[in-house]
A and B are shown apart, each in its own frame.
Chain A
């Protein structure tokens, strides 16, 4: 484009002013896009520092931290950077951390549901239902397994509920670890193997074996008397070992080069252990972090030093269980109807329009609904766990429905056509073809919705949940408490140790749990959709 003598206007770049204006606009846009994110990051950095009180640590401690933890981790990162091992390192660390989270969830969930109650429902409702799925077709009187399953589940649940006391009394004679083995570990392992039977997935078999074997091993330790009762370790193991083994086995199978990534976990754990050991040996105090084991084992207190988050965590998990039981089937059912069944008529249009509007109703208004209808009219009580769970459940129901609709819609129509073309009915097509395909998406959407639910505060206040509950709820009609509610109640205290210590630790905990749920949802979706 060179010219010798003549000056053309179109040669070279556009004039400087236009260029400056364009560039300024572009970076202004980028700046506005980043403003919110950067602000949030800065605030998160502050609250993290406050929660672990890093600024008060001694310089020597930072030196030890650098040598024992930061340096090895950085070296390892540099070594695997850009190789397949980096990917394995990320997934193995992330997967194992999430598995640990699941184990923690199991511990809390099984303090709410005792092993005897669990066993009662499994034995009376779940086992017969599995038998019905397997053999329902063979009963001449029943047409197909569907009604048989529904009947057995309903009947079993009613029987278990009505006769809960005598049944649990009988089960109480068995050792808890044995109950967990028979009603949790073995069924989960079997289900996993059954589910992956066509996938030639050795990881599933190993994971199943590790779970059952580990449970038995812990049970034997209980028998010998090394472990006290063994409830918490066993349920943690069942929640943890299965997913962790699968993640590690998949990492291992990625080939010798990628396998080095599995060392990420030992490096991190070893770094922390070394840090604690060296600091202790040198007599250097660890930072006075507010995030410490006692914080998760104790209840709220007047003094910041003794304040803990245990009851709210149990309350949140309890509410989650209520929500999953109540909302998941409803939401998926509604989504199936809207996507697979709904004729194009006025009722359908009403439902669709209503759904978008419901998603925009403020959460306090749901609180009023819960207060007036669920607590008052249905008589479930103000501020009870069940009222709280159902209220927040209704709040996230539209989200679950919309996410499930999207997942169902993304199933290609060609497989539906194939199914209908073979003489499958609508229900058969839905159950056999559409739902299995849409399941990862539905699961992801539901987990994300539950994440939203876990952070909700306003509806809980509106239904009259007390902000000063000091003990964990043990039954459905107990007083509800939840993590965000506790944070709300703590932050009205003006002592700096509360405002910049206990609350900061609570906020970090809540955010980490949310982050874990979101990460789990995304990982699950990616993994399941790859298959």
Chain B
């Protein structure tokens, strides 16, 4: 190397790498870009599949109803009967939506307070060592397969609760409790992130005014982290709506409308219900050949589910972005 003279001849320098190398690396880049773009293709695939097959379902359903496709859509969205396999068929979404709402609201009744309490404890009270164990332990709750939660609800929670309440074998209550436990970490981790993002100066200001830790937690930290907490709630709801196996196993397959009488609201919980997701599982199991309206109804249900969860995820995302900008 020392033998190489430093000539400094302008023309001798290579301002480019060898063409072959550059081309080779460009190929790699395109391959990697392809991998990344595939994720977009998946979304397009999902949307395309759901829409085209849902449209096919509506056409089929229109044939059954002897009406137009628009009638079929109207009947699907506003129909109060879900009778997918026995004639006369009826594909009304409302009973399934009722079941989904019952389960989701009851699950939220478990998950929101528990998740929020856990988040406050982790962010404001827990010592680092406690935190180091508690946080991963909470995450474990989200890692247990949903089929296992479903089994717990059916085989252990229902018989246990049946001692105190009049429950049917399949019921919304135990499915909701298990679902609630499953989504606790969803609430707690996102809420805790939001609370940890609250600047310490705000807390110091609170203490400076003579506030107790309780005051600071409930009146300073929680309000300051409010948008993050709301966003975690919405994500948890969205997750509960899309959850399948717990409700399929433990909540049964009884599509029924919501009881809206305020004095009998709790009765919604004791009986078997059917959610959108468990109706999809039932449809998948009832037509193994594929071709009847039941089969295609899965896609209409899937579309409804996708739209609802997608909108909720987007809302949560928007809210979350906003709170990040706050500090």
Distance between A431 CB and nearest chain B CB, rounded to angstroms: 9
A341 to B146, alpha carbons, bound, how many Å?
A: 37
Identity of the chain B residue whose Cβ is nearest the Cβ of A31 in the assembled complex: B117
Cross-interface CB contact of B39 among A40, A146, A334, A484, cutoff 8 Å: A334
The answer to whether A354 and B43 touch across the interface, beta carbons within 8 angstroms, is: yes
The answer to whether B38 and A334 touch across the interface, beta carbons within 8 angstroms, is: yes
For the complex, count residues of B whose C-beta is within 8 A of A: 89
The answer to whether B217 and A25 touch across the interface, beta carbons within 8 angstroms, is: yes
Cross-interface CB contact of A462 among B33, B124, B241, B281, cutoff 8 Å: B281
- Chain B contacts of A336 at CB under 8 A? 32, 35
Distance between B192 CB and nearest chain A CB, rounded to angstroms: 10
Within 8 A of A (CB), among B140-170: 140-141, 143-148, 150-152, 154-157
Q: Any chain B CB within 8 A of the CB of A426?
A: yes
The answer to whether A364 and B39 touch across the interface, beta carbons within 8 angstroms, is: no
Known: A32-B118, A43-B152. A488 touches B245 (CB 8 A): yes
Interface centre among A25, A29, A355, A369 (most CB of B within 10 A): A29
Known: A341-B29, A357-B310, A361-B309. A491 touches B281 (CB 8 A): no
Cross-interface CB contact of B277 among A37, A43, A458, cutoff 8 Å: A458
Within 8 A of B (CB), among A353-383: 354-358, 360-369, 371-373, 382
A373 to B52, alpha carbons, bound, how many Å?
A: 12
The answer to whether B36 and A32 touch across the interface, beta carbons within 8 angstroms, is: no
Distance between B124 CB and nearest chain A CB, rounded to angstroms: 8
Within 8 A of A (CB), among B230-251: 235, 238-239, 241-245, 248-249
- Chain B contacts of A401 at CB under 8 A? 39
Distance between B11 CB and nearest chain A CB, rounded to angstroms: 20
Q: Any chain B CB within 8 A of the CB of A510?
A: yes
Which A-B residue pairs are the 8 nearest by beta carbons?
Answer: A362-B242, A455-B145, A32-B117, A333-B35, A33-B118, A29-B121, A458-B244, A337-B32
Q: Any chain A CB within 8 A of the CB of B1?
A: no
The answer to whether A29 and B241 touch across the interface, beta carbons within 8 angstroms, is: no
Distance between A120 CB and nearest chain B CB, rounded to angstroms: 26
A485 to B113, alpha carbons, bound, how many Å?
A: 33
A selection of 24 A-B contacts at a CB cut-off of 8 Å is: A21-B214, A25-B214, A26-B121, A26-B125, A33-B118, A40-B141, A40-B181, A43-B152, A47-B151, A47-B152, A146-B28, A334-B32, A341-B29, A360-B235, A360-B239, A360-B310, A362-B277, A364-B302, A368-B50, A401-B39, A455-B147, A461-B281, A467-B285, A488-B245
Known: A30-B125, A452-B143. A360 touches B309 (CB 8 A): yes
The A interface, classified by DSSP as helix, strand, loop or mixed, is helix
Q: Chain B: residues with CB nearer than 8 A to chain A?
A: 17-18, 20-21, 24-25, 28-29, 31-40, 42-43, 45-46, 49-50, 53, 113-118, 120-122, 124-125, 134, 137-138, 140-141, 143-148, 150-152, 154-157, 181, 184, 188, 212-214, 217-218, 235, 238-239, 241-245, 248-249, 277, 280-281, 284-285, 288, 290, 298-299, 302, 305-306, 309-310, 313-314, 317
The answer to whether A144 and B21 touch across the interface, beta carbons within 8 angstroms, is: yes
Q: Any chain B CB within 8 A of the CB of A169?
A: no
Q: Any chain B CB within 8 A of the CB of A397?
A: yes
A338 to B33, alpha carbons, bound, how many Å?
A: 8
Identity of the chain A residue whose Cβ is nearest the Cβ of B118 in the assembled complex: A33
Cross-interface CB contact of A427 among B28, B125, B309, cutoff 8 Å: B28
Known: A32-B117, A363-B244. A507 touches B277 (CB 8 A): no
Within 8 A of B (CB), among A19-43: 21-22, 25-26, 28-33, 35-37, 39-40, 43
A364 to B212, alpha carbons, bound, how many Å?
A: 47
A342 to B39, alpha carbons, bound, how many Å?
A: 14
Interface centre among B116, B145, B277, B288 (most CB of A within 10 A): B145
- Chain A contacts of B248 at CB under 8 A? 458, 488
Q: Chain A: residues with CB nearer than 8 A to chain B?
A: 14, 18, 21-22, 25-26, 28-33, 35-37, 39-40, 43, 46-47, 143-144, 146-147, 329-331, 333-334, 336-338, 341-342, 347, 350-351, 354-358, 360-369, 371-373, 382, 394, 397-398, 401, 425-427, 451-452, 454-458, 461-462, 464, 466-467, 484, 487-488, 491, 499-500, 503, 507, 510-511, 514, 518
A371 to B280, alpha carbons, bound, how many Å?
A: 13
A427 to B24, alpha carbons, bound, how many Å?
A: 10
Identity of the chain A residue whose Cβ is nearest the Cβ of B35 in the assembled complex: A333
The answer to whether B117 and A364 touch across the interface, beta carbons within 8 angstroms, is: no
Distance between B134 CB and nearest chain A CB, rounded to angstroms: 6
Known: A341-B32, A462-B281, A510-B148. A427 touches B241 (CB 8 A): no
Distance between A428 CB and nearest chain B CB, rounded to angstroms: 8
- Chain B contacts of A466 at CB under 8 A? 288
The answer to whether A464 and B43 touch across the interface, beta carbons within 8 angstroms, is: no
Identity of the chain B residue whose Cβ is nearest the Cβ of A463 in the assembled complex: B284
The answer to whether A362 and B31 touch across the interface, beta carbons within 8 angstroms, is: no
The answer to whether A43 and B156 touch across the interface, beta carbons within 8 angstroms, is: yes
Known: A333-B32, A458-B244. A365 touches B281 (CB 8 A): no
Known: A22-B214, A362-B243. A514 touches B277 (CB 8 A): no
- Chain B contacts of A500 at CB under 8 A? 155
The answer to whether A499 and B114 touch across the interface, beta carbons within 8 angstroms, is: no
The answer to whether A357 and B43 touch across the interface, beta carbons within 8 angstroms, is: yes
Distance between A436 CB and nearest chain B CB, rounded to angstroms: 17
Distance between B44 CB and nearest chain A CB, rounded to angstroms: 9
Identity of the chain A residue whose Cβ is nearest the Cβ of B313 in the assembled complex: A360
Known: A360-B235, A511-B148. A462 touches B138 (CB 8 A): no
Interface centre among A25, A356, A358 (most CB of B within 10 A): A25
The answer to whether B244 and A397 touch across the interface, beta carbons within 8 angstroms, is: no
- Chain A contacts of B122 at CB under 8 A? 33
